[in-house]
Amino acid sequence: MTELVSVFGEIYCVPAAEEPLSSDIGVFYGDKYLWLFDVGSVEKTVGEIDTRGLKTACVLSHFHPDHVGGLGGISPEKIYLGANTLKYIGRGTPVSGDIFLHDGEDILIFPLPSTHAKGSLGLQIGRCAFLGDGIYPAEKKGGAVYNSGILKEQIAKLKSLSAEYFLLSHDPKFLYPKGEVISGLEKIYSRRTKNSAFISAE
């Protein structure tokens, strides 16, 4: 059985790993579904998460293999993904606007404007929101950068969420107060210049 780490209330995670590179897997036991946010890259790890007899619904944050590669290890009844991720996965429900659900907690599946990966999704469950790699920059030739227009939209989206905590992939601390994440992004946005669409992440 895959060991879960407690994050907040009924929210757990399988922490990210380096060898092989695998994202965190967010886990929430609803009344009807076991919710997974990302599935990591290792089929056996995601396949051995205790389902407590529930059907599985998963939300894929973006198409990168360390987040979606383990999908073959489970048989989810529902897969929510962005249109860009759908091109790689070939099945599932594309999400182009906010989807509100209730399963034990209020759940919101939302598109997250992201420089890191086009078509990223986030998942808010109660007081927490999983953001995956969504707030990270993208690697360009000159180094890690943010697109300033996308960053502006992202900050607005994050501010609109009711969640009090944001959960960030590949980060050992994982759980951050919402305000701390937004002020970090606003600091980066404040460095934008008129002559470039990009802002260095350094």
Q: Rank residues 16 and 107 by Cβ distance to Zn ion and give the closer one.
A: 16
Yes or no: say if 185 and 112 are a contact pair by the CB < 8 Å rule: no
Q: How far is the CB of 138 from Zn ion (least distance, A)?
A: 9
CA 47, CA 143: separation in Å to the nearest integer?
Answer: 36
Q: Rank residues 24 and 133 by Cβ distance to Zn ion and give the closer one.
A: 133
Partnered with residue 130 across adjacent β-strands are: 123, 167
Yes or no: say if 150 and 115 are a contact pair by the CB < 8 Å rule: yes
Is residue 133 a contact residue for Zn ion (CB under 5 A)? yes
* CA-closest candidate to residue 189, choices 163, 166, 158: 158
Q: Residue 99 carries which side chain, given as an amino acid letter?
A: I
Q: How far is the CB of 30 from Zn ion (least distance, A)?
A: 26
What is the x/- site pattern for Zn ion, positions 59-88, by CB under 5 A?
Answer: -----x------------------------
Length of the chain: 202
Q: How far is the CB of 64 from Zn ion (least distance, A)?
A: 4
Q: Rank residues 64 and 178 by Cβ distance to Zn ion and give the closer one.
A: 64
Q: How far is the CB of 133 from Zn ion (least distance, A)?
A: 4
Q: Rank residues 105 and 133 by Cβ distance to Zn ion and give the closer one.
A: 133
Is residue 170 a contact residue for Zn ion (CB under 5 A)? no
Q: How many CB atoms lie within 10 A of CB 100?
A: 10
CA 121, CA 22: separation in Å to the nearest integer?
Answer: 18
Q: Rank residues 82 and 126 by Cβ distance to Zn ion and give the closer one.
A: 82
CA 120, CA 112: separation in Å to the nearest integer?
Answer: 5
Q: How far is the CB of 194 from Zn ion (least distance, A)?
A: 29
Instruction: Estimate the crossing angle of helix 178-189 against helix 148-160, to 10 degrees.
Output: 160
The stretch among 39-47, 58-66, 102-110, 194-202 that binds Zn ion (CB under 5 A) is 58-66
Q: How far is the CB of 5 from Zn ion (least distance, A)?
A: 21
Give the interface size with Zn ion as a residue count (CB under 5 A): 2
Q: Rank residues 34 and 81 by Cβ distance to Zn ion and give the closer one.
A: 81
Q: Residue 51 carries which side chain, given as an amino acid letter?
A: T
Q: Which residues bind Zn ion (CB under 5 A)?
A: 64, 133
